[in-house]
Structure 1
Amino acid sequence: MAFRGPKVWLWRWRRNPLKRRADKVEAWVLLGTWTVTVLVGVLAGLATARTVEQGLTRERAEARLVTAHLTSQAPGRPAAQDGDSGGERVWAKVSWTAPNGSAHSGQVRVAPGTAAGTPVALWTDPRGRLVTKPATAEQARLRSGLVGALGGLSAAAVPCAAGHALRRRLEWRRLDQWDVAWARFDPLWRGRTG
């Protein structure tokens, strides 16, 4: 194992007579890669978060709470008298009238054995189609933040990988230059060592 001295910060930027042009290029590539990675990650994350939050806000504004009625008794036996169904839910057919007056039907989850005609609250879009309960403002902020962070990290991976590939190519080129230099000076040194 080779001895390594104490870590020197910003060594690529310090003056050194042994520093080659390739070291300077690598320093600039590294700086550029990190700058672009951070910028792309932050901008993509913010744009993704804003888009997700706007979509969830639009869904919340368009969703309508309507009352539907079961068209037939829900399958299964009713829960015990104490009202404890253990959280079990079954699918049952319901019908409702949309805000525009059109009749709709669909299936929702209700407690087993619920009687026909029982009112059930559900969410619809402006056309009267069933939708899931819209996210609250707090849930929308949390979701948009998480999706934005994931989007930012994913977008930042692209310039980071490109910079890594470029640095690897520079390393191969540097090794090729070492081979050329060694081939030139090896015959001169071969007679002096030994």
Structure 2
Amino acid sequence: MLLWRWRRNLLKRRSDVAEARIGVAAVAMLLLIVPAVGMAMTDVGERSALDQAQGLHRTVAHLVEDAPATPSRFSGSADDHVRATVQWTTPDGSPKTGEALVAAGTKAGSPTTVWLDDAGRLRPTPPTAAQARSQGAALGAAAGAGVCVLVVGGWWIVRGCPHAGRGRRGSGRRAAP
């Protein structure tokens, strides 16, 4: 019964053959293109995350004031880090001050690691290799899912949207006299 569209049959229409070929093309695209797009986007996402560390260098800064003991709900950090004012010395010897994420409850004067760009400005901590792999995998999975949606949606539209016409002709019941 599965291959009825491929057998010789007097009742078989050209549209049945076309629909079967479109289905085969959609399955082939799902099996070939989706994994290729997913792997390519995984690699792109991982390289992009690792490129964030280019031009950054780590330096030690010291807290100017005590950090809050508990993180605020609105701090933008998911772990036990809070924003606090830190001070560091640039390579030319001038002191700079800015806000960085530090462990909650850290006392004034404590050292912390911050990341600076080539201009000496504070930057977020770049992702680790494991975080870059995770970001790449998430991007690859999302791209693969997107391609799946496009292929299946295209197949559904080409088939003629079989469920789009329901309800226009009525329910098949006759009106009561």
What's the TM-score once normalised by structure 2's chain length? Answer: 0.70
The structure with more helix, counted as a fraction of residues: 1
Aligned to 1:42: 35
Per-residue Cα deviation, 1:91-117 (whole angstroms, up to 9, x for no partner): 3211223457665322233433612x3
**Cα distance, 1:129 vs structure 2:** 2.8
RMSD between superposed Cα atoms in Å:
3.0
Does residue 166 in structure 1 map to residue 151 in structure 2? no
Contact 2:49 / 2:135 at 8 angstroms: preserved in 1? Answer: no
What's the TM-score once normalised by structure 1's chain length? Answer: 0.65
Q: Relative to 1, partners in 2 of residues 1:27 and 1:98: Cα closer, same or farther, differing over 3 Å? A: farther
- More displaced 10-residue stretch of structure 1: 11-20 or 102-111: 102-111
C-alpha distance in 1 between matches for 2:159 and 2:105: 63
Per-residue Cα deviation, 1:114-155 (whole angstroms, up to 9, x for no partner): 12x321112233333333332222332232112101111112
Percent sequence identity is 33
Contact 1:94 / 1:105 at 8 angstroms: preserved in 2? Answer: yes
The aligned runs of 1:105-116 (5 Å cut-off) are: 105-107=97-99, 108-112=101-105, 114-115=107-108
Structure 1 unmatched runs, 5+: 1-7, 78-86, 173-194
Larger Rg: 1
- Equivalent of 1:157 in 149, 153, 175: 149
How many pairs align? Answer: 155
Q: Relative to 1, partners in 2 of residues 1:110 and 1:169: Cα closer, same or farther, differing over 3 Å? A: closer
Aligned to 2:23: 30
**Cα distance, 1:49 vs structure 2:** 1.3
Contact 1:99 / 1:126 at 8 angstroms: preserved in 2? Answer: no
Per-residue Cα deviation, 1:142-176 (whole angstroms, up to 9, x for no partner): 3211210111111231122011011025899xxxx
Does residue 12 in structure 1 map to residue 5 in structure 2? yes
